[in-house]
A and B are shown apart, each in its own frame.
Chain A
Amino acid sequence: MTTLVPLGAFIALSAALFFIGVAGVLVRRNAIVILMCVELMLNATNLAFVAFSRRLGLIDERGSVFVVFVFVVAAAEVAVGLAIILAAYRNRPTVDVDEVREMKG
């Protein structure tokens, strides 16, 4: 009988990585790094989904299905996000989020 890691430890790790991502989005200037931090947050939620699904899933692996959808949305998000960043960079060669203010009212 191997010792199981408690569910709370997985959820706490997920929360820690999520808030590292939040801090990155709040403090970094580079739009691509902000995109990376959003990916970190999405992946942290994936860990919470899988942990709950494996440890508390009474019926079947419903939580893992949502992980697959999160994968799809993350891939779409990073593709469109990079396209927007590249379009803005072509307009003016900077990826600093506080330098891109063409749409400011």
Chain B
Amino acid sequence: MSLDLIEPILFGLLALTIVGAGLGVVLADRITTSALLMAFTFLNMAGMFVLLGAETVAAFQILIYVGAITVLILYGVMFTPQAPRAYGLFFQKQTTVGAVVAALAALPVMVIAFAFRDTGSIPPRGGDLVPLASSIFTDFAFPFEVASVLLLAAMIGAIVLVKRE
């Protein structure tokens, strides 16, 4: 097999896994299963970023999403035990309406999404670390500092919210 088709094949495999695991997050009856499938979705999304040539974003994705956020969510699952119940009770009363509305909204968006075309220019080689870093630390230096303040505020807020008297 030639290497010409390796990128579409990888894209197809990753896309199938992402959509399947995403549906699993919504439909699974055990919350731990949902959380681990969410981590699996994020891991495959990191593969998608590598396929696009954005290796630095993929590394951030694995560190922050697969690492930090999944661990936080799993702690949340651990601290809020629930009694077992019937499968239908995992869903809201408006489940049918909600699913239909989401599907109806998704249809035109999917049609528009497939209409996007490449400009024909070849994507730049050599990874995205240097352009990303030079953008963040020059043009976006102030928003970057504001983001660190946001993280500090979120940390203090979370501590205050769950602190016992």
Q: Which residues of A contact B (CB under 8 A)?
A: 1-17, 19-24, 26-30, 32-33, 35-37, 39-40, 43, 46-47, 50-51, 53-56, 60-62, 64-65, 67-69, 71-80, 82-87, 89-90, 93-95, 98
Contact = CB atoms under 8 A, between A and B. Distances in A.
Q: Report whether over half of chain B's contact residues are helix, strand or loop; otherwise say mixed.
A: helix
B91 A27 contact: yes
B56 A64 contact: yes
Nearest to A84: B161
Q: Report whether over half of chain A's contact residues are helix, strand or loop; otherwise say mixed.
A: helix
Interface residues of B, number: 86
Contacts of A50: 49, 52, 54, 57
B161 A8 contact: no
B140 A65 contact: yes
A29 B90 contact: yes
B101 A26 contact: yes
